[in-house]
Structure 1
């Protein structure tokens, strides 16, 4: 009989390959966050994805968590292809590119300033959240959510921003429209206050987990607007006002 890890891995690999959805209740739940991360690694390796980027967060119990973002990595103006029947959510984020490796430093935690010094670029990032798990919103245990890279669907890498934007979100706004109709227009707010908090927590994790933080990788610091459900497909305009915007197509 397949193990929990094998069952989830094989189901997620099939769903990604066929661009289909899995009934969440049909999957077992990993016993721990660590097991969920290990399965995520197995899915990434099984699909042949490179370790190009990270989605980091903090679990409700305070544990730092991360997901390897397999892409697709898209440029503004390109098209994101969603699976039939999948929920598509749009997240406006601040991203960073690592200019050097950030190895684990047991007994010598990275400081916020040190971590920023390891980055050479900040940018406006737009994540498309599209889980392989059907009806996932609010209904998935965290260890299982981790196996699917926390619902990562794809990522638009937008214009460069001044690194100082990470220090103060005051006066910034998040705007999203679909086919010319506004679906979100609110001040930019990060769930942890400081956008660097989840990144710093992950850099200072106790164990390697999914692998090392390496130069050239991109790191997303978390949504500034929550996950905004798209009511349909079409032309999307996103803005982190007054700094930058990214337009793309959902199809």
Structure 2
């Protein structure tokens, strides 16, 4: 899925793109292409939104079609009507999520960069979804804090795909903005295998490892992680669910 290396999608100055954004074996790409052609209905609106990602601050970092479809399915399986997304870029994943919540649903997506937000709004308008999506500009942590302070209605699904060093802060905000039963998805947690390096000085790896530790130590959460390979290289994501009152682990 997307990999935001700076603040909510902005690359860190002087920092090389992470290898797992581009390193991909031909066989991995071919398999991705096969499943997308066979199973994923990416229409012209979605294709245009994906292509417009080239004009964002992180070209090519949006989720792939099969990953977008997975997000939509997770939202539908969770019965989500309210979704919070941290990291918008061109709004490609936002479209998948907005379609999944239906006409009466709502998606709030947080984006730092004005350029990205403007592109996303254009794509959402083209998709006919602008009336069910709020694009909130500004640092995601600050925007999330304002949602908490405003007493925002709880979200059913939170998709965290912004700057990785801030993952622990985003998880904390997600827990304050959801109720038992809600699902939290955190993207880009494998990082070409770098996540297993306990001595890494990469702030993105450290942010992922800290959020894994925070999830593992939180008795309110059931979670797992899935490794992925494909056109975006070797990466993966975490899916966590807030336990319902009185439920046991794994319920």
TM-score by length of 1: 0.26
Which structure shows the bigger proportion of residues in strand conformation? Answer: 1
> Relative contact order, CA 8 A, sep 6+: which one is greater?
1
Which structure shows the bigger proportion of residues in helix conformation? Answer: 2
TM-score by length of 2: 0.26
